Amino acid sequence: MSDLQRSFVKAKLARLPPEAPMSPEPLREGHEDGESLDTLGILHHDPHDDDASSASSASSTGTIKPLASRNLFARPGGASSKKSQDQLPWSDFFEQELYLEGSFDKENITYHVYLTPPAASGPLFVTHHGAGSSGLSFAVFASIVRKMLPSAGILSVDARGHGETVVHTKVPRDPSQPPIDYSLSTLSKDLLQVLELCKEKMDWKEQPSMILVGHSLGGAVVTDVAKTGELGDKLLGYAVLDVVEGSAMDALQSMQTYLSSRPPAFPSIASGIEWHTRSRTIRNPTSARVSVPSLLRRDADPNAPRPWIWHTDLSATQPFWENWFIGLSKKFLEAKGGKLLLLAGTDRLDKELTIGQMQGKYQLQVFPEAGHFIQEDLPERTAALVVEFYKRNDRSTLVLPPKVADILKAKQQQQQKQ
């Protein structure tokens, strides 16, 4: 096992930039608390991390007896001090936030996005979170991407009904319809509109080259946007994190059961953060500290014993669930641009993507040690992968070996000269 770890870490280290990325202040703070931070896990690879990982991958493939040293049931935070549950502000991870006014026929919408603008000619990584999450799901990821690639910009959106993005309906919606239109096509239009508004607001002459990154529902959205082709050759590639049509459709049946098993409210934000790390929903405390606060809002009733309730009512989005994922695999394979699929387990591939993968149609990466929120659980490795994916698909620097016809031509010319 230790050999494996060593070779793994070595391989990973080899891919990282020569200088170790500096960890931001809050991360260091956390580390002093003695927590195992996955953001740093790659550099300070303590065995504790990997034990959890192999245990989680094992659980999906069969039975492996946990060794005594495994600490399977240890609480991730250990003897967590109160400090480690404190929330972290978004400004530690992004340079600015924007409120952008968009409009459709029947509604106005105020989009809220986090932005770290790209340097001149730098790429823009556009991230879209999953249902029930928020733009801050990519906060830690964003700051690491920026460190690995200082010219890069990151735009992380709050989808409608999530975070601080608010829909104002002009025309009252049909009461038989859900109050907010969460259909995939609308979410795609939202993302395209945000990109346009952002360009105007920031006074960009043209859109920067883009890599779209979507987690879960966000993966379906970025795939749909890529398939529309509206971004043209500005779209270098798209990355989809832990969502596959087949397994998502299978999982939908048990979604309501899962949702009802979540606590409906929390006494404080800190307890919300604590629940997310303790239940291993989010396995990296730093990520949870920045992303969880945006998932909760205060109950209207000031006397409620547990005043912090879920910001987004996920159950209410149920009418759209199938609509989000149907046809995802096909679109993912057909859309133009580089394709990256990052999963938390190999068994999540459906038939279409298994065939596509074995025909070499896209890049597949698996982080078995991560949970569903890959970019929050392993922000460092996710960022390294996405940055590498960008570099590979960056057409401005792409140099391919010469074509045979060109070689022959050159030879002929040489011979003629002689």
Q: Is 185 an active-site residue?
A: no
Q: For residue 356, give Cα distances in angstroms to 262, 331, 409.
A: 36, 12, 36
Residues numbered 330-359 forming contacts with another protein, rule: CB under 8 A: 338-340, 344-349, 351, 354-355, 358-359
Residue 402 sits in the site that holds another protein (CB under 8 A): yes
| Residues pairing with 109 in the sheet | 102, 167
Answer for the pair 282, 292: CB distance below 8 angstroms, yes or no.
yes
| Sheet with 296-298, edge to edge strand ranges | 265-266, 308-310, 296-298
Write down the least CB distance from residue 251 to another protein, Å. Answer: 4
Nearer to another protein, 210 or 282 (CB): 282
Catalytic residue among 38, 50, 242, 377: 242
Nearer to another protein, 260 or 303 (CB): 260
Nearer to another protein, 12 or 234 (CB): 12
Nearer to another protein, 27 or 236 (CB): 236
Q: Is 216 an active-site residue?
A: yes
For tokens 């529309």, name the residue: 228
Write down the least CB distance from residue 54 to another protein, Å. Answer: 8
| Residues pairing with 169 in the sheet | 107
- Please state the separation of Cα 260 from the chain's center in Å: 24
Angstrom distance (rounded) from CA 196 to CA 165: 16
- Which of residues 174, 404, 414, 417 is near another protein by CB under 8 A? 404
Length of the chain: 418
Residue 405 sits in the site that holds another protein (CB under 8 A): yes
Q: Is 372 an active-site residue?
A: yes
Write down the least CB distance from residue 403 to another protein, Å. Answer: 3
Interface with another protein by CB under 8 A: which range of 94-102, 110-118, 199-207, 363-371?
Answer: 363-371
Nearer to another protein, 169 or 281 (CB): 281
- Which of residues 25, 101, 233, 250 is near another protein by CB under 8 A? 250
Angstrom distance (rounded) from CA 327 to CA 125: 25
Q: Over 319-380, what HEC string results? A: HHHHHHHCCHHHHHHHCCCEEEEEECCHHHCCHHHHHHHHCCCCEEEECCCCCCCHHHHCHH
**Could you tell me the two tokens for 396?**
């401005």
Nearer to another protein, 305 or 360 (CB): 360
- Which of residues 94, 114, 321, 332 is near another protein by CB under 8 A? 321
Angstrom distance (rounded) from CA 301 to CA 305: 9
- Which of residues 146, 289, 372, 381 is near another protein by CB under 8 A? 372
Write down the least CB distance from residue 68 to another protein, Å. Answer: 14
Residue 272 sits in the site that holds another protein (CB under 8 A): no
Residues numbered 145-204 forming contacts with another protein, rule: CB under 8 A: none
Quick one: DSSP state of residue 312?
S
Q: Could you tell me how many residues of this chain bind another protein (CB under 8 A)?
A: 69
Cβ within 8 Å of residue 377, ≥6 positions away: 38, 282, 283, 284, 287, 344, 367, 369, 370, 371
Catalytic residue among 23, 53, 216, 329: 216
CB half-sphere exposure, 7, CA atoms < 13 A: 3
For tokens 């249902």, name the residue: 131
Quick one: DSSP state of residue 400?
P
Residue 363 sits in the site that holds another protein (CB under 8 A): yes
Mind giving me the DSSP string for 8-58?
HHHHHHHHS-SSPPPPPHHHHHHHHTT---HHHHTTS--HHHHHHHHHHHH
Residues numbered 1-30 forming contacts with another protein, rule: CB under 8 A: 1, 3-4, 7-8, 11, 14-15
Write down the least CB distance from residue 394 to another protein, Å. Answer: 10
Write down the least CB distance from residue 69 to another protein, Å. Answer: 14
Write down the least CB distance from residue 147 to another protein, Å. Answer: 22
State the catalytic residues. Answer: 216, 242, 372
Residues in contact with another protein by CB under 8 A are 1, 3-4, 7-8, 11, 14-15, 54, 57-58, 60-65, 130-132, 216-217, 243, 247-248, 250-252, 254-255, 258, 281, 314, 317, 321, 324, 338-340, 344-349, 351, 354-355, 358-363, 365-366, 368, 372, 389, 392-393, 398, 400-406
